[in-house]
Chain A
């Protein structure tokens, strides 16, 4: 029977000695999992275990085959557009934390039109819009207005904003938003409370269920993830995979993706509690691909150009390009502070050159907004 919330799945794991279970996995267990056609949660655990590390090449070979078979040699490109950095949250690790003394800005619809045009001119068709959490200034009404501008330029627009109610997501779906990105940051509820001491984001459970509300509201693509390094990255990575499997099982009509961001330097003083190194991140991505062959995997410009190139065949399906994390950063010259530092600063053209050189096709357009077409003709 399907669960009411992923929260109850997490509750079942509260008393499970995960670290001991990971440590008990043997190389034989990993090999057995590698030979399975339909891996289970136990297999995912085996792929994520220390015993899997010496077998990464074998895992990579299979993950690469599965990725090509399911998604082809193709990478969908998108870019983020920061609409507003006003925020009422106190996330201790974030550059947009309301206590940080940084210039705050929010795009007017006129400014947005200029930004949208500049991005569209690079050829990109998939857009991710972002805000902080300031409902009075940049709430659902503002996002609806923004969608009115953006849908003239982009066939697909995803939102990475504050958690909201199902009917609010549905309002945005009706304006043409078709994707939801919602990072849980950490699945550790106690740690979450200390990282989000004040502000609306403090509500762990409300955020945890947000991707599910997005699925119910009709979002086509839902992307989740934990910010690796806030807590024990290994546990958070494991629970992200579990969360993705939960959503895929319960909402088979929704395209579920995972993004595995690692912590980077930023304007605040918070430093990572654990570091996921390159090998760790590769193991995580391979484990995700082997466990969930149809899962989308998004890799951002937090990662270096060199690393992004190396991991192309391992399971990636979407990448950002031509990125700025500052409000108005696509057209404005002034010194804005971004949400985080980006490592891969390549333009869209440079990304395409790299992809083609590596034998991959950059995909600019992978959706036709049929709902809006129908509305327009009605």
Chain B
């Protein structure tokens, strides 16, 4: 099989697993998580970055080879997301930005309308924009028009580890949207990431399920393998599944064979 390269935002990636930096009991495990998972993209909340800190900074633990994907966690409006993105760029975090606009602290559901507005502004400013949204066809189409680099639909509410609850809607996005689909949020088990990839998602972002596992390194490794397995299954074109066993032409047999 040819090497499977995921090219996005001018970067060529061998791994289709994106990881995160939140919820670890100790950030010093992050380099090992990156290595164990094989991930090459890592998201980090600008609100947690502290470049002048004397007490340690999450950025100190992110290996240099990782592609940084700063996120706008804490933004409640498009305007706030835009400001955070500009700050991230000014702090030297590059042009990639994951837009999170959430004004619902209970379920942490993304605001598609505000996200599309922020995406449009930032794409025009040359950012490579990764918007986190509900798995909604119209929102996804508006993101295409706004100049997003990918669409990141949620599998389930963020941090819930509840799996690919939006399966049917994600499937529609994969079919209809001419941008990479990266399933973000809600994936709790490697099998669920694998399923998303088998369906044809271009990548998965997994944080909580790895960070809160009893053994984050082993879980990181498992997710790395699951995403790869799912991708390979998708590329290999799995045979069609059927509900019943296949008798040979019980209804049209009377027509006779050739």
Answer whether A and B are interacting partners: yes
A residues at B contact (CB < 8 Å): 68-74, 123, 125, 220, 248-249, 252-256, 294, 352, 356, 359-368, 370, 373-374
- A364 adjacent to B53 (CB under 8 Å): yes
Residue pairs across A and B with Cβ atoms less than 8 A apart, 19 shown, are A72-B212, A74-B25, A123-B54, A123-B55, A125-B50, A253-B76, A253-B104, A254-B105, A255-B105, A356-B26, A359-B26, A361-B24, A362-B55, A364-B55, A365-B47, A368-B46, A368-B87, A370-B80, A370-B83
Q: Which residues of A contact B84 (CB under 8 A)?
A: 368, 370
Q: B159's contact among A69, A249, A359, A363, by CB below 8 Å, is which?
A: A69
Report B66-83 CB contacts with A as 1/0, cut-off 8 Å.
Answer: 000000001110001001
- Choice from B22, B49, B53, B211 contacting A123 with Cβ under 8 Å: B53
- Distance between Cα atoms of A72 and B53 in the complex (Å): 21
Would you list which residues of chain B between 180 and 214 have a CB under 8 Å from chain A?
A: 208, 211-212
> Quick one: given A69-B212, A361-B26, are A252 and B53 in contact (CB under 8 Å)?
no
Chain A residues closer than 8 Å to B25, beta-carbon distance: 72-74, 359-361
Chain B residue contacts of A248, Cβ below 8 A: 105-106
Chain B contact residue count (CB 8 A cutoff): 32
Q: CB distance B47 to A368 under 8 Å? A: yes
Name the residue among A69, A71, A125 with the largest chain B CB count within 10 angstroms.
A69
Contacts A359-B25, A373-B83 given; indicate if A256 touches B212 (C-beta within 8 A): no
| Contact with B105, one of A294, A363, A365 (Cβ below 8 angstroms) | A294
Taking a contact as CB atoms under 8 Å apart, the answer to whether A373 and B87 are in contact is yes
- Bound state CA distance, A368 and B86, in angstroms? 12
**CB–CB B83/A363 < 8 A:** no
Minimum distance in angstroms from A193 CB to a CB of chain B: 34
Quick one: closest A residue to B208, CB to CB? A69
B104 lies within 8 A of A252 (CB): yes
Closest 8 pairs (CB-CB, A-B): A72-B23, A73-B25, A123-B55, A253-B103, A252-B104, A365-B50, A370-B83, A359-B25
Cα A294 to Cα B27 in complex, Å, equals 22
| Interface residue B160 (Cβ < 8 Å from any Cβ of A) | yes
Give the docked Cα–Cα distance between A256 and B104 (Å).
11
A68 touches B212 (CB 8 A): yes
Chain A residues positioned under 8 Å from B23 (CB to CB): 68, 71-74
Q: Is B124 an interface residue (CB 8 A)?
A: no
* In-complex Cβ contact of A252 among B48, B105, B212 (8 A): B105
Inter-chain pairs besides A73-B23, A367-B47, 18 sampled, C-beta below 8 Å: A69-B161, A123-B54, A123-B55, A252-B103, A252-B104, A252-B105, A252-B106, A253-B105, A360-B25, A361-B24, A361-B25, A361-B26, A365-B49, A365-B53, A368-B87, A370-B83, A370-B84, A373-B83
State A147–B58 Cα separation when bound (angstroms): 27
- Bound together, the chains give a CA A68 to CA B25 distance in angstroms of 9
Annotate B8-49 by CB proximity to A: 1 below 8 A, 0 otherwise: 000000000000001111110000000000000000001111
B161 to chain A: closest CB distance in Å? 6
Residue from the set B48, B50, B105, B106 with the largest chain A CB neighbour count within 10 Å? B105
Query: In whole Å, how far is B100's beta carbon from the nearest beta carbon of chain A?
Result: 13
Question: Which residue, of A69, A356, A370, has the highest number of chain B Cβ atoms within 10 A?
Answer: A370
